[in-house]
């Protein structure tokens, strides 16, 4: 049975002096690029397109469609910069619609720890949302926002033999604090926001390659079922200090050069949305597609 994904992953990982390399590989562990909660990997990759559709938390609710893309480029083996943009269409219940781009977002991420033995990655970064670069009619703010963030990933491959069935489990997550570049807008205080999220994954590729090959079809052995949860809590200058967020169950198929993902979007409360939406994504591994050009670190 073909196990090209993890044969390639292990070969790439062996080249990294600190135990991790392209698209979030550490030891035997491959962390797929998650759709909602950014993973801790530093890589040359492209998420294009990401499509999501859901009903907003407004009363009455509007239907929002987001089409987004993000390009991440390694500057060194451990440092990467990414650029993300989203086109949004908001359709009100009376059939009127507004559309336009959100603010441009750039992120600088540095991987400061990778343990192959414990399948652990830690990274830190800072994102900058460029105020005024998007359309106000779809919610793009006029002010900029700076968000320092800590990212983490931990695989369960170091569990004892008695728990070998659980070794394919892994978690990734982040904690960030969004700070606006000014305190007020139109006479109102701009809240500061705590952003946090977690993804729980069960890697069937890991199960087949490093625990036990159950003889499942090859397409199944490339799947990673997962549940993501993403939250935002207003913690300063906020009235009511409300928390919004979603829980996103889904699955990711990972191949040699790309991955495909699909998740449901389930709001945690009425402020977070109405009903169940969805998100789908195509994610491209530029370091494998163009290893001698765009897939290499700049330095």
Q: Is the pLDDT of residue 14 over 80?
A: no
Q: What is the pLDDT of residues 124-161, one digit of tens each?
A: 999 999 999 999 999 999 999 999 999 999 999 999 99
Asked if residue 25 belongs to a domain, the reply is yes
Asked if residue 297 belongs to a domain, the reply is no
Asked if residue 296 belongs to a domain, the reply is no
Q: What is the CATH number of the domain that holds 143?
A: 2.40.160.40
- Count how many domains the chain has: 1
Average pLDDT of the chain to the nearest whole number: 91
How confident is the model over 151-174, as a mean pLDDT?
97
Q: What is the pLDDT of residues 247-268, one digit of tens each?
A: 999 999 999 999 999 999 999 9
Q: How far apart are CA 260 and CA 262, in angstroms?
A: 7
How confident is the model over 109-126, as a mean pLDDT?
97
Q: What is the β-pairing status of strands 25-26 and 258-267? A: unpaired
138 Cβ partners below 8 Å, 6+ apart? 88, 89, 90, 98, 99, 100, 101, 102
Nearest Cα neighbor of 134 from 179, 63, 84 is: 84
Do 221 and 208 form a contact (C-beta atoms < 8 A)?
A: yes
Range of the domain at 277: 4-289
Q: What is the pLDDT of residues 42-80, one digit of tens each?
A: 999 999 999 999 999 998 999 999 999 999 999 999 999
Asked if residue 295 belongs to a domain, the reply is no
* pLDDT level of residue 11 (50, 70, 90 thresholds): very low
Asked if residue 71 belongs to a domain, the reply is yes
Token match 């196990």: residue? 3
Asked if residue 298 belongs to a domain, the reply is no
* pLDDT level of residue 196 (50, 70, 90 thresholds): very high
Asked if residue 215 belongs to a domain, the reply is yes
């Amino acid at each position: 049975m073909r196990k090209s994904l993890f044969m390639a992953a292990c070969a790439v990982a062996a080249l990294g002096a600190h135990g991790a390399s392209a698209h979030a590989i550490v030891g035997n562990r491959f962390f797929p690029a998650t759709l909602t909660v950014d993973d801790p990997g530093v890589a040359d990759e492209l998420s294009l397109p990401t499509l999501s559709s859901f009903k907003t938390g407004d009363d009455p609710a509007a239907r929002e469609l987001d089409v987004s893309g993000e390009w991440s480029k390694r500057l060194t083996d451990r440092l990467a910069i990414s650029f993300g943009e989203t086109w949004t269409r908001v359709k009100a219940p009376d059939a009127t619609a507004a559309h336009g781009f959100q603010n441009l977002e750039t992120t600088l991420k540095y991987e400061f720890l990778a343990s192959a033995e414990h399948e652990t990655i830690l990274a830190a970064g800072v994102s900058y949302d460029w105020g005024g670069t998007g359309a106000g009619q779809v919610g793009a703010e006029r002010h900029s926002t700076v968000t320092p963030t800590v990212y983490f990933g931990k695989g369960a491959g170091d569990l004892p033999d008695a728990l070998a069935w659980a070794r394919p489990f892994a978690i990734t997550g982040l904690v960030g604090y969004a700070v606006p570049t000014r305190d007020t807008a139109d006479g109102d205080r701009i809240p500061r926001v705590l952003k946090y999220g977690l993804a729980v994954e069960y890697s069937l590729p890991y199960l087949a390659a490093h625990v036990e090959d159950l003889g499942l079809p090859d397409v199944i052995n490339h799947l990673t079922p997962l549940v993501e949860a993403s939250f935002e809590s207003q913690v300063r200058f906020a009235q009511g200090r409300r928390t919004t967020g979603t829980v996103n169950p889904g699955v990711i198929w990972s191949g040699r050069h790309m991955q495909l993902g699909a998740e449901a979007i389930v709001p945690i409360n009425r402020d977070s949305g109405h009903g169940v939406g969805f998100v789908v994504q195509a994610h491209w591994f530029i370091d494998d597609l163009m290893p001698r050009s765009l897939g290499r670190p700049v330095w």
